[in-house]
Structures are given as structure tokens and as C-alpha cells.
Amino acid sequence: MATTAKSTLFLSLTFLFFSLTSASSEPDILLTFKASIKDPMNYLSSWSHTSSSHYCNWTGLTCTTSLPLSVSSLNLQTLNLSGEISSSVCSLPNLQILNLAGNLFNLAIPLHLSQCRSLETLNLSNNLIWGPIPDQISQFGSLKMLDLSGNHVEGKIPESIGALKNLRELNLANNLLSGSVPEVFGNFTELRLLDLSQNSFLDSEIPTGIGNLENLENLLLQSSGFHGSIPESFVGLLGLAILDLSQNNLTGLVPQKLGLSLTNLVSFDVSQNILFGSFPNGICSNAKGLINLSLHTNLFNGSISNNSINECWNLERFQVQNNGFFGDFPNGLWSLPKIKLIRAENNGFSGEIPESISIAAQLEQVQIDNNSFTGTIPQGFGLVRSLYRFSASLNGFYGEIPPNFCDSPAMSIINLSHNSLSGRIPEPRKCGKLVSLSLADNSLVGEIPISLSELPVLTYLDLSNNNLTGPIPLELENLKLALFNVSFNRLSGSVPSSLISGLPASFLQGNPGLCGPGLPNSCSDGEPSPKMVGLSKFACALIFLALAVGILVLVIGVTEHDLMAAMDEKSAIGFGVFGRVHIVKLPSGELVAVKKIVNFGTQSSKALKAEIKTLAKIRHKNIIKILAQILGLQWGDRLRIAIGVAQGLAYLHKDYVPHILHRNVKSNNILLDVDFEPKLMDFGLDRIMGEAAFQSSLASESTFSCYLAPEHGYNKKASEQMDTYSFGVVLFELVTGRKAERTESENSSIDVVKWVRRKINISNGALQVLDPKISRSSQQEMLGAVEIALRCTSVVPEKRPPMAEVVRALQSLDSRTGFPNVEFSASDEFSVPV
């Protein structure tokens, strides 16, 4: 009796619940859900009863395709949402997908969403979800996809997670999970993707059960503190396409039969572990038939039937670098039709590269440095048109470099240094994209090929430690080399002047037959020794300059007409990049210089005004106009200029939003006021003129190219580091008293960066580069400034310090106390035009 009564009560309650929820219309449910959410950017404004459109058209909603219409998917990713995720959403009877990825939800894992009966996909990736995975995670038994990646989920993964037997994707990457991973993964028989990567607090072996997952396609366990060996069970991963076990502490051998089974493999990455031993015969071994075939035909050229490679056919990326492997490298890899990337550097692999490499028609990148490979460099390489990097230094390759070694039109980096190659260097003709060529430390003979000078972007050339003879070709002056190392050869004759003036002499050393300035032997006809000049451009800096006519008009209260009238031929004092500079006398009697921007590019005048307004808003005392006059400059003044300019740039780069790059730093663009307070001008002109006009103006101003960072040629994207480089050049000017670029003779000039490097290299000390007109008491500070300038002008952009750091370093040199700290000053002299 009692039992019956209880069930009746239960039934009626259930009925009541059901009727209540079904009474709520879907729009009401959605609005209840919305009410729990914080939506600062008002992205959900369309969610409203007053909205004219049907609720199925509200932001982020998708409804079922059949009638009656009902919400099936809620996709609200990357909308800056926070607050609560209300379980009211579970009253939507057909909701299958809930995607709240990329928001700011700061919650524990919302277990109440397990009430959503139809839910199959729950995506909470990239939020601020915290706390452990609770045992009750098992309540999500019907989920097919669970994505909690990119949160702060911590603690051990509970065994109860094994109850999620329907999962096809489980992504827990990039969290704070710790401890060992439980042995329950074998239960996820439907799993296609398992991602536990980037959980650096895990301390676990790889669960062997994973090997049972025949349907698994992506297994991502990289950077997660896994140790122990790769389970033998992995041979069971028959569907695997992407395997990433890199950056762990895995030890031992790779399972011997692994390769036989992984026929669908696209990417294999076990790099950066402590794996060792010889590589299994299994990996791609069936491709051996092919190798045998190709050995007979010397140079393989043609297609192969699919039968000859029935495994690894799909492999594109093979990465085993930085382990302790030794023994023969799996040879079949070299001839796979889809292979793009082979990285095996820093192991002990032996073996040869077969001619059949020409079959690897998609190959882009080979890095096998620091192994024990031997044999010759096959001609087949030259037939691979997609190859852009071939790096095989520190091996035992011998014989001649094949004549087509640089035939790939994509080739950018070749490093064959530290091998036993002999013969002459072939003329590289076709690789117009070659940036770096290193053939150092071989036994190459003959002359340096002249056609190297026809490779327009060649930047690093290291031919040191060979037996090269003959002269250094004059034509190499055409190149904008950052590194030219021919030391320890048997070269002779005079060194082309731009090479010797531009590059450190040590890179020429060990060639007793070479002669030229800075070398032990001077050539018989002699070259003039460089003369010192003062800071002439500062000395003749007169009166300067407003940013643009528009600003000037609004700032100084004269009309545009007055200015235009005053700007005639007589008032012009010179041409800048972007137009003529005029000196104009204002009604007040004050003299100002005005730059008239003549080249507006394609920007409309409306856009121009908007940009000028933006630029005018930047009120910083080092980034304004105004005028000055220079007499003589002692070190203290120069340091003050350097600090001011650096502060101006740091401000542009970091403090001002949106960030602005100067892109045209040079001493001509630095104006000084009566207190030697520097003012940067011409900043952000690219924004006024438009990119195309800006670029062509720069190009037309080739005499100032010495301010441009070396990467400017091939990296069109402007960067802070390029500004830093230009600043370094200015700093060198201040320390050395030399112009940035000096014409040395009719067709040679020295840029100050190269001049300093060369001087320092010869004399092993920076004292020689300091401006002799400045008293010795400042030497220490000046040497410090040289050090900073060297870092700013580093060939490698990443090595240049951020401008804020440069400011600090320069300030720490300044012996005077009370140096004014520049800060944003709201009372600066002009206000924003409206």
C-alpha cells in the first residue's frame, strides 16, 4: 500500500514538472538563460521579445530543420561572456550543441548541464574554468564531444571519466591537470580525438589502454610530463593519423612493429624525448622494395604503383629530433610521395640518402644535422621542386655537391657545414629565394662562384674552413649580406671595398693572400683612410618643423592661407621624403618650419584628417613639433637626446593605443629645442599617406637605407624591432660622431653599423669608435652606449631589446641625477582639434 502511494506521488510530481517546463516557450527559456549571463558588449541584443525576427534567428542559435522549430544548437563563442551558465538551458528539449568557447566564464565545471538530455557537444574551451574534474563527471554519459581545453582545470583525472563511453572527442589540453592518468581510456571505444597535451603537471606513464582505441585518429600527448616507454599496445591504433608524443620524458625503444600498423599515419612526432635504440624496421619498411628498384635506375624518375608502398603512404611529417636514436635511418621515408617534413637532427642515425628521394615530390624541409649520415648528396634532391630547407650539417657526407643542389625554386636555407664534401662549389643559378648558405668546414676547392651574387636575398654566406682559392668576386657587393664568412681558406687578392668596410674583418681571417684596409696586408694601390667628421647634421639642424600642415594650423592659430602664402620657393630649406620643408615667420615673429605633405597616396582627405587627428592626440613631449638651434654637443647633451628619442619610441610602441610604429627613425627626423630636448617627427606617416605611397617614398630615399634593418628587404611587415634597429643607428651616430652613411669614394660608402663592428673586431675594443671630440671623462658612459647600440642593431630581430628596456639602459648610464622622467603630460601645449 505504502509503496503504491509513493509511486503515485512520484508520478504526479513528474507530470507536474513536465507540464511546467513544456509550458515555458523556448524564447522564455532562452531569456532566462540570457539573464544569468553577463554580456558587456551586448552581443545578445537580438535576444529579446521585442525583437522583430523569429527567435531561431537570434544570435548564435540554430533550430531543427523540421517542424516544429526548436533550438538544436547554441553557439556563443568568443563574445566576452561571463556570469553563470544557467541550467534553464537544459529545458530546451532538442539542444545538442552548446558552445561557449573563448569567453570569460569563471566557474567550476558546470555539472548541472548533465541535465541536458539531448546534449552531445559541450565546448567550454578557453574560458576561466577552475577546480578539479569531479567524480560526477560520469553524469555526462551521453556526451559525444567534451572540450575543456585552455582552462584552469586541476588535479587528477578521476577514474569515473571512463563512464563517458560515447565520447568521440575528449580535449583536456592546456590545463593544470596533475598526477597520473587512470587506466580507463580503453573504454572510450568510439574515441576519435584524445588531447591531453600541455598539462605540464601530469606525472604519468601513457595508459596502455589507449592502444585499444582502433578508431582513434588524433592522439596528442605532447608537453605533458609523460615518462616511461611508448606502450607496445600502440600497434593497435589502426586508425591513427596524427600522433604527437613530443616534449615529454619518454624513454626506451619505439615499439618494433609500430610502423606496420600505422597505415593511415599523416604525422608522427616523438621529438624531444629520451628515446633511444635503433629505429624499428617496422616504420615504413615496406617502402624498401622501392629503394631496391631505384638503386638500379640510378636516378629515379617516374611514378610508382601503390602496391610498392602499402604503408606510410600518407605520411607527411616525421619528427624524431633530439632523442638518442642510432642505427640505420628508416630508408623508405626518403621516397614517400606525400612526405613534407623530415626532422631527425641531434641523434646518432646512420645511412645514406637514396637517389629515389626525387619521388618525394612534396618534400619541403629536411633537417638531419648532427647525426652520422654518410654517402653523397644525391642529385635527386635537385629534382624536388618544393624543397625550401635542407640542413644536414655535422654528418659524414662526402663527394661532390651535385650541380643541381640549388635548383628548387623554393630553396631558402642550405646548411651542409661540417661534412667532408669535396670538389668545387657548383654555380647556384635557380634558387632566387636562397637566404642562407653554409658550406663551412668541408674540403671544397676552387673559386667562390660569381653567380652567388645573383641571388637577390642571400643574407648569410658561410664558406669558412675550406680550401677555396682565387679572389672574392667583386660582384658580391651587390648583395645585402649580414654575414660573410670566408675565413680559413686560401683566397687572395683585394677584398671588395664594401665587403671589407661593411663586415667584421675576422670573417676574412686565415687567408694570408687577401689584402685591403683593416687586413694585415694592404693592397699596393692603397685606399684612403676614413676621415672623421663631426655631427654635421646636428650642427646644421636649424629650425624645425611641424608634423603636418593640418595640425600646425590648429595649433598655432594661423590660417592655412597664411601658411600657404608663406611657403614659396625662397622659404624652402630642403626636401624631406614626404615633401618640402619651409621656414615660415608667424605673425608673432616666431619662426617655425612647416613640412608640406605632398604625397597623400590614395587616402581621401577625410581619411587624412582622421589620421592627423589620431596623430595629434599623441601628446608626449618628445613627440611634437618645435624648433631649435644647435651649437655644439657634449656627451651629456647627446645622451639626453638618445634618451629622449628612445622614450619617444617606447611611448609610440607601448603606451599609446593603438600602437604606432615610427617606421622612419633617422637623425634627420629628430628635432631639438633650445634645451636639446629631442622631438621625433614624421612618425606614423604611413598612416597618413597610405602604405603604398609610404613604401615608394622610402624606396626613393635610398641614401637613408642604412637606417633600415637588414630584414626590411624580405620582410615587408613593419615591426617594433625595425624601429629599434633604426634607433641603434642613430645612437651610433651620437657616440661616434659619424654620419649614418658616408660616401667613402665614388661608388663606395660605409654604414656606421658595419664600420663600428669592423673596428671592434679588429681592435678587440670599442674605444676606437668613440667620437674623439668628446672628453675622456665620458668614456665609460659612451662605451655603455656602444654596447646598447650593438644590441639594437643585432642582425637577428629577436635579439634587439624592446625600446622600454633601451630607455632604462640609457638612463642607467646617465651619471647626472635628477634627469627628468618623461611622462604623459595632460597639459601639453596643444589640444586635439575637433
Interface with ligand NAG in residues 558-587 (CB under 6 A):
none
Q: Please, what is the minimum distance in Å from the beta carbon of residue 709 to ligand NAG?
A: 18
Please choose, from the candidates 143, 251, 262, 257, the residue with its C-alpha nearest in 3D space to the C-alpha of residue 206. 251
Which amino acid would we find at residue 382?
Answer: G
Helix (H, G, I), strand (E, B) or coil at 579: strand
Return the H-helix or E-strand segment holding 671: strand 670-672
Q: How far is the CB of 290 from ligand NAG (least distance, A)?
A: 8
Closer residue to ligand NAG, CB minimum distance, 16 or 299 = 299
Task: Write down the least CB distance from residue 287 to ligand NAG, Å.
Answer: 9
Between CA 739 and CA 742 the distance in angstroms is 6
Which residues on adjacent β-strands are paired with residue 432?
Answer: none
Compute the chain's Rg from CA coordinates.
34
Residues 187-206 that bind ligand NAG (CB under 6 A): 187
Specify whether the CB–CB gap between 476 and 455 falls below 8 A: no
Please list, residue by residue across 350-366, b when 16 or more beta carbons sit within 10 angstroms of its beta carbon and e when fewer do.
Answer: bbbbbbbbbbbbbbbbb
According to the binding rule CB under 6 A, does residue 86 interact with ligand NAG? no
Under the criterion CB under 6 A, does residue 436 sit at the interface with ligand NAG?
yes
Does 134 bind ligand NAG (CB under 6 A)? Our answer is: no
41 in contact with ligand NAG (CB under 6 A): yes
Q: Does 162 bind ligand NAG (CB under 6 A)?
A: yes
Which range touches ligand NAG (CB under 6 A), out of 162-170, 548-556, 626-634, 795-803?
Answer: 162-170
Kindly state whether residue 271 participates in binding ligand NAG, applying the rule CB under 6 A: no
Of 39 and 477, CB closest to ligand NAG? 39
465 binds ligand NAG (CB under 6 A): yes
Distances (CA, A) of 612 to 544, 546, 597, 600, 832: 19, 12, 12, 12, 10
* Shortest distance, position 124 Cβ to ligand NAG, whole Å: 8
Question: Is 15 exposed, middle or buried, given 0-12, 13-18 or 19+ CB atoms closer than 10 A?
Answer: exposed
Is residue 175 part of the contact set for ligand NAG (CB under 6 A)?
A: no
How far is the C-alpha of 295 from the C-alpha of 111, rounded, in Å? Answer: 62
How far is it, in rounded angstroms, from Cα 733 to Cα 667? 8
Stretch that binds ligand NAG, among 98-106, 614-622, 668-676, 771-779 (CB under 6 A): 98-106
Decide whether 209 or 644 has the Cβ nearer to ligand NAG.
209
Neighbours of 822 (CB within 10 A): 18
Q: How many CB atoms lie within 10 A of CB 152?
A: 13
If the CB atoms of residues 303 and 524 are measured against ligand NAG, the closer one turns out to be 303
Q: Determine if 398 is a binding residue for ligand NAG (CB under 6 A).
A: no
- For position 278 contacting ligand NAG by CB under 6 A, the verdict is no
Q: Applying CB under 6 A, does 799 fall inside the site for ligand NAG?
A: no
Binding flag, residue 72, ligand NAG (CB under 6 A): no
Candidates 72, 294, 415, 794: give the one binding ligand NAG (CB under 6 A): 415
Closest to 618 (Cα-Cα) out of 658, 670, 559, 578: 658
Burial class of residue 639, CB neighbours in 10 A (0-12, 13-18, 19+): buried
Of 111-119, 295-303, 395-403, 692-700, which part binds ligand NAG (CB under 6 A)? 295-303
Indicate the residue among 223 and 647 with the shorter CB distance to ligand NAG. Answer: 223
The DSSP annotation for 186-204 comes to: GG-TT-SEEE--S-TTB-E
SS3 state of residue 689? helix
Binding residue for ligand NAG, selected from 306, 529, 605, 775, defined by CB under 6 A: 306
**What character string, x for contact with ligand NAG (CB under 6 A) and - otherwise, covers 231-270?**
----------------xxx---------------------
Helix (H, G, I), strand (E, B) or coil at 722: helix
Q: Does 56 bind ligand NAG (CB under 6 A)?
A: yes
Question: In the sheet where 324-328 sits, what is the strand order?
Answer: 204-205, 226-228, 249-252, 274-278, 324-328, 348-351, 372-375, 396-400, 420-424, 443-445
Of 341-349, 491-499, 581-589, 792-800, the segment contacting ligand NAG by CB under 6 A is 341-349
128 lies in the binding site for ligand NAG (CB under 6 A): no
CB of 134 to ligand NAG, least distance (A): 14
Cβ proximity to ligand NAG, 541 vs 756, nearer residue: 756
Q: Is 23 helix (H, G, I), strand (E, B) or coil?
A: helix
List the one residue from 66, 303, 524, 559 that touches ligand NAG (CB under 6 A).
Answer: 303
* Residue in 394, 461, 541, 627 binding ligand NAG, rule: CB under 6 A: 394
The single residue among 54, 585, 773, 799 that binds ligand NAG, judged by CB under 6 A, is: 54
Cβ burial, residue 782 (10 Å; 0-12/13-18/19+): buried
Residue among 524, 488, 519 at smallest CA distance from 503: 519
| 486: number of Cβ within 10 Å | 26
| 338 belongs to the binding site for ligand NAG (CB under 6 A) | no
- Smallest separation, CB 34 to ligand NAG (Å): 17
SS3 513: strand
Q: Is 591 a binder of ligand NAG (CB under 6 A)?
A: no
Residue 412 in contact with ligand NAG, rule: CB under 6 A: no
Q: If binding is defined by CB under 6 A, does position 488 make contact with ligand NAG?
A: yes
Q: Taking CB positions, which residue lies at the least distance from ligand NAG?
A: 162
For residue 327, state whether it binds ligand NAG (rule: CB under 6 A): no
| 225 contributes a contact to ligand NAG by CB under 6 A | yes
Phi-psi region for residue 202, left (φ > 0), alpha (ψ -120 to 50) or beta?
Answer: beta
Decide whether 263 or 599 has the Cβ nearer to ligand NAG.
263
Nearer to ligand NAG, 204 or 668 (CB): 204
Residue identified by cell 676614413 is 530
Q: For ligand NAG, which is the closer residue by CB, 350 or 571? A: 350
Write down the least CB distance from residue 389 to ligand NAG, Å: 10
> Is there binding between residue 136 and ligand NAG (CB under 6 A)?
no
Q: How many other CB atoms are there within 10 angstroms of residue 29's CB atom?
A: 21
CB 262 within 8 A of CB 236: no
The reply to whether 487 sits near ligand NAG by the rule CB under 6 A is yes
DSSP state of 655: I
Which ranges of 542-683 would DSSP assign to H, the alpha helix? Answer: 549-556, 560-566, 605-617, 635-650
Binding-residue total with ligand NAG (CB under 6 A): 57
Closest of 3, 487, 743 to residue 752, by C-alpha: 743
Cβ 225 to ligand NAG shortest distance, Å: 4
Q: Which three cell numbers stand for residue 165?
A: 563511453
Q: Residue 322, exposed/middle/buried by CB under 10 A (0-12, 13-18, 19+)?
A: buried
Tell which phi-psi region holds residue 473, choosing left (phi > 0), alpha (psi between -120 and 50) or beta: beta
| 370 counts as binding ligand NAG under rule CB under 6 A | yes
Return the residue of 288, 430, 609, 791 that touches ligand NAG, per CB under 6 A.
288
Instruction: Return the residue of 294, 395, 417, 793 that touches ligand NAG, per CB under 6 A.
Output: 417
Kindly state the smallest distance separating residue 599's Cβ from ligand NAG, in Å: 34
* Residue 291 C-beta: closest distance to ligand NAG, Å: 7
| Beta-bridge partner residues of 218 | 193, 242
Q: Is residue 22 a contact residue for ligand NAG (CB under 6 A)?
A: no
Q: Which residues are known binding-site members for ATP?
A: 596
Location of C-alpha cell 619651409: 582
Instruction: Please state, as a whole number, how many other Cβ atoms lie within 10 Å of the Cβ of residue 84.
Output: 14
The residues of the shown chain that bind ligand NAG, judged by CB under 6 A, are 41, 53-54, 56-57, 77-78, 80, 99, 101-102, 123, 125, 145, 147, 159, 162-163, 169, 171, 184, 187, 225, 247-249, 288-289, 292, 299, 301, 303, 306, 346-348, 369-370, 393-394, 415, 417-418, 436, 438, 440-441, 443, 460, 462, 464-465, 467, 485, 487-488, 507
